[in-house]
Amino acid sequence: MVKGKLYGMGNPLLDMTCTVDEAYLKKYELQPNNAILAEEQHRPIYEELQNENYKVSYSPGGATQNTIRVAQWYLNEPEATSFVGCIGNDSFGDKMKACMKKEGIKTNYLVDPNVPTGVCAVLLTGKNRSLVTKLDAANEYKQSHLSSPSTWSLVTDASYYYIAGFFLTVSPECMIEIGEHAVAENKVFCMNLSAPFLSQFFKEPMAKVLPYCDIVFSNEDEARAFSKDFGFNSTDLGVIAQKLAALPKNNDKRSRMVIFTQGDKPTVVFHDGKVTEYPVLPIAPENIVDTNGAGDAFAGGFLSAYCQEEELDACIQKGMEAASMIIQVSGCTLPERE
């Protein structure tokens, strides 16, 4: 296995995971299964969760970082993956660096001394999760850091790139720079639609990045939001996948693959001109702890197989295994390797 074969760039966050009641969500006008960026009204959440009345667990988070962590867990070779993003010069940032190093991932964080490390409140109600992200340092990533020799060498070493759509709010320019390299070298560039608000409020940068995408991941809510915002006029996931795959593409050496997960319903894949549905692995409802990180884990499992050039069916299966593993624990928690 080549070192650094899979490269991720995104918003490194420390997840603060906590069980709350529905009244708490209502208080902050939050939906039970959604992801948003914190606004002024949400800022008290982070202080409140550190109050002794709440039991909070801390873990490295952020969509792309979680996907890379899962892929690394499956690849199980030191520094098979790399990750880049911006953190603060603080204890949260130090925790994240130590954890990523322990998990075998090569990181090259930009450290901003003026802004704290980003956090994500993962608010659990039953099996649902509401994500409220305060980007802070994650929002300060600079293109000059990507262009620096220590970071760009990670880009050139890699053959597969994965960036969650959340990074569109930070630096679409960096996504395009990596996309251009991927096209020029015939490497594989992947993006996740990540959240419904992105296609609505960041449609322009998303439209600029999409032509570089060889693989697009999404869940059903994000796919239908994308369909509405991009004028597809369909709620049928097979139709949406086909239309998304047909959007302009810069690398004509391979067709675009589109993968839509939809919880316990079949995963919809459009590839090489046809739609295939893959039934998910059955899990007893009582074994589901929470759904946080399921989509990130699916992408990580899938890419761990895909970057080893396994057959598509095997890649989907690995994605489903990963998602199944993650929803049976709290947050994106990976088992210790024996």
Nearest to 257 by CA among 299, 296, 196, 224: 299
Among 136, 214, 229, 296, the active-site one is 296
Residues 8-45 as b/e (b if ≥16 CB within 10 A, e otherwise) read: bbbbbbbbbbbebeeebbeebebeeebbbbbeeebeeb
DSSP 287: G
Q: Are 151 and 82 in contact (CB under 8 A)?
A: no
Tokens 């070192």, residue? 3
Backbone angles phi, psi at 313, to 5 degrees: -60, -40
136 tagged catalytic: no
Q: Are 321 and 313 in contact (CB under 8 A)?
A: no
**Measured distance CA(162)–CA(169) in Å, rounded:** 16
DSSP 173: H
Nearby residues of 131 by Cβ (< 8 Å), 6 or more positions away: 34, 35, 36, 120, 121, 122, 123, 292
> Amino acid identity of 24?
Y
**Measured distance CA(8)–CA(195) in Å, rounded:** 18
DSSP 120: E
What's the burial of 119, exposed, middle or buried (CB within 10 Å: 0-12/13-18/19+)? buried
Which residues carry out catalysis? 296
